[in-house]
Structures are given as structure tokens and as C-alpha cells.
Structure 1
Amino acid sequence: MELGTCAFLERHDNVLIVGPTGVGKSHVAQALGHRACFSALYVGAHEMLTHLRAARGDGSYDKRLLRFTSPDLLIIDDLGLRGLTQEEPMDLYEVVRQRYERRSTVITSNRSIEELPPLFGAPLMASAAMDRLLHHSHVLVIEGDSFSKPSPSLRRKPSASETR
């Protein structure tokens, strides 16, 4: 309920939302972005890192990085859905570092908090990134069944005429 007030934005707190597929992590993150009366950017982790990788190639890295570090609220969806390659761990660290105590970041992940550090590759960079992400943060662990797979008690049973 406290996150719904968006006071975390004024304090520059982060929000990490973790849990299995289909439990509503992205929905909660989007609701926070919609509720915020601040500038907000919602982006998939893969999309953000792809943009930063391309910016390295065309010389627009600093400008592109600013796109992800300047909004009051950055929502990074599905972090860790796939492993990070090449410069992606450094790019993610740079976004986290530049936003630390200046802006709020919401991250959703299917991975547990303990599974996130290996994404950064180097243990020292992982430690620095996780320290910044978790300091002044709210961690929501959502458990349950996927909303896309109804529980057996809610599934429609075929009628007698359908089973013939």
C-alpha cells in the first residue's frame, strides 16, 4: 500500500519485484509507473541493453545512456530472463550507478534476489551493483500460480455432450 503513494519516488528508493512467471510482476510495475506523477520510462531489460550496445557502435552512448538515467522512474522489466553478454553487465551497472540515490528504479525479474549478482559477471561489479540496488529499496516477492494458467478448481470441466 505504501508503494501506491509513490513516496518512494521522492526518497529515490528502488523497488525490486521478483517471482515466477505469470504472477503479475510486470503488471504491478506498470501500475506504479502509471500512478507516479513523475517522468517514467518502462523498458524491457533486453531492449534497454540492446539500445546501449547499438549506441556503443554509433557513438551515441552517452546520449542513449541519458535516456535511461534521466527519468524520475525507470522500470526495467524481465531482468535476467536471459544471460547478459559482452558489455551488457557494465551497461546495466552504469545505469544502476548513475541512478543511485538520484532517481528511482523498479526492476522485475523471474530470478530471486540471490540469483541476480551472477548477471553482472565480475564479483566486484556484482557486489557494487547489488549494494546500490538494495540500499533504500523495497523488495516484493510475489508467489503463486501463473494467472495465465487457471488453478484446476477454476478450469471448466467438459460437459457430457463434449466428451462424447
Structure 2
Amino acid sequence: MVENASNNNVSYFDFLDTVVFREWENREAGLLAKHIQRSKLPYTKTIHDFDFSFQPSVSEQRVKETLTRLFINRILLGPPGVGKTHLAISFALEALTQGFTALFLTAEEMVAECRKAESKGTLTRLINRWSRRPDLIILDEVGYFPFDELTANVFFQVVSKRYEHGAMILTSNKSFIEWGKIFGDDVLATAILDRLLHHSVTFNIKGDSYRMKEKKKAGILFRHKRG
């Protein structure tokens, strides 16, 4: 870099500015990588990787309009394989890129964490951590199996404490009317939804499964039917 600056007659101040900028870029890249690792995202995909032509029920414009609105809840509903998790991760990556913190959990992982904390006597600490620290919590696969009473109550407390203080992204294969079954209590489900939906955007995806699409491409379904 020094040799290039000398050969191109770059001034000392311009050279210094370039050095400082590159140092800042390297530091920011390192910080972003650390935040991504701590977020526990299962993979990294952006909005640019999402095939909106395959899922016409999702408005690309609406998704991009909400991409940078980090302080609202986003709820993605639809059957398995339609891209709910992909979109959730894309929203999370945008938040991480802007310097915010995030935490990705599946509903199954939340249940396991709650049971583990209860057995250790650290449940209050866990609730406080989920309520305060990450700027964004992503809870994936809500509704694939019912929450136990412990986790349902913990989730209600986290949602209540994060209300108007921290954003959440949820993916679910169940419509809101079925959430009473997920949490084992219609009143509790109503209280949770009341807080989640106050400042939120809901995406209801009604398209086909990406995974089935890929299997069809590979001829797996065809071979299975013949076999």
C-alpha cells in the first residue's frame, strides 16, 4: 500500500485516510462475523437469495420495505418448506449488518433451554437474558409441537418484557386461531398475540415447498412413485 501511494503521488493525508478507513472496515467485518457467530443462525442467506417468483404470495416490495424496520415484530406463517426461515434469517442478517445483536432459536431449543434452566434453578436468569440482551430474537418452527406449560409461561414473560423494547421474528406453520393449541391455553395465546401483533408485520405464505421443488428437479419423487 505504501509503495502504491508513493508511485501515485498520494498525499500523506489521503494515505492516512485510506489506512484508517481500511482498518475500520476490517474491524467492522470482524465485529459482524462475531455477531453472526453469537446469533446462532443455522445458515446465512439474504433477501437476494429468495426466489420471489416461486412464491408469488410474498410481496418482494413489502419484504424490502420492512427489511430495515428493525424495531417491529415480524411473523411468517405458512406450511413447511415455503421459505419462512429463509426470510427470518434475511431479516436477522440485516439487523446484524447494522450493528444490532440477534439470537436464533427453534421452538424445540427454547423448550430444552427452559427445562434445563428450571432444573438448574436459573430460569429467572434465562428469562432476563432473553428479555434484555439480544436486540432481536428469532423463534423458528412455532407450532410444530405444543409447548409445555413451563415454556408457554416463559415465552409469555419474554414477549411481555420485550414489548415495545425489543423486536422478535417468529415462523409458524399454524394460523393465529390455532395458537391456543400451541400454548395449551386460549387466554395465554390471546395475551401473547395481543402484544406481538401491536407493532408487527405478518407475512402469510401460501406457495409450494422449495424442498419439494428441488426433489422434483432431481427426479426423486418420480423415482419414488415408480418404485
Residue 90 of structure 1 corresponds to 153
In structure 1, how many angstroms separate the alpha carbons of the residues matched to 2:89 and 2:150? Answer: 27
Counterparts of 2:216 and 2:118, CA distance in 1 = 52
Cα RMSD after superposing both structures: 2.2
Q: Write the distance in 2 (CA, Å) between the matches of 1:19 and 1:137.
A: 17
1:19 Cα deviation (Å)?
0.4
Note the C-alpha offset of 1:17.
0.3
User: Does 2:121 match 1:59?
Assistant: yes
Secondary structure of 2:213's aligned partner: coil
1:123 CA drift (Å): 2.7
The CA deviation at 1:155 is 6.2
**Aligned residue number for residue 88 of structure 2:** 29
How much has 1:94 moved relative to structure 2? 1.2
Deviations 1:87-138 (A, max 9, x none): 1211111111111111000000111122223322233222211100111110
Letter in 2 for 1:17: L
1:40-79 to structure 2, matched below 5 A, reads 40-70=102-132, 71-79=134-142
The one-letter amino acid paired with 2:101 is S
Encode CA deviations 1:11-56: one digit per residue, 9 max, x unaligned.
Answer: x321100001101000000011011121111111110121012111
Task: Supply the AA of the counterpart residue of 1:121.
Answer: G
Contact 2:148-2:183 within 8 A present in 1 as well: no
Aligned positions of 1:2-151 closer than 5 A: 2-4=65-67, 6-7=68-69, 9=70, 12-36=71-95, 37=98, 38-70=100-132, 71-150=134-213
Q: Which residue of 2 aligns with 1:160?
A: none
TM-score by length of 1: 0.85
- Secondary structure of 1:2 counterpart: helix
Give the TM-score normalised by structure 2.
0.62
C-alpha change, 1:147 and 1:74, in structure 2 (3 Å) is same
Structure 1: how far apart are the matches of 2:181 and 2:214? Answer: 33
The residue matched to 1:111 in structure 2 has which SS?
Answer: coil
**In 2, Cα distance between equivalents of 1:63 and 1:50:** 15
Which AA in structure 2 matches 1:22?
Answer: G
Q: Which residue of 1 aligns with 2:60?
A: none
CA-CA distance at 1:154 after TM superposition: 5.2
Where does the alignment leave 5 or more consecutive residues of structure 1 unmatched? 157-164
Matches of 2:83 and 2:215, distance apart in 1: 19
Higher relative contact order (CA 8 A, sep 6+): 1
Q: Report sequence identity in percent.
A: 35
Structure 2 unaligned blocks of 5 or more: 1-63, 220-227
Structure number with the higher helix fraction is 2
Report if aligned partners of 1:74, 1:105 keep a CA contact under 8 Å in 2.
Answer: yes
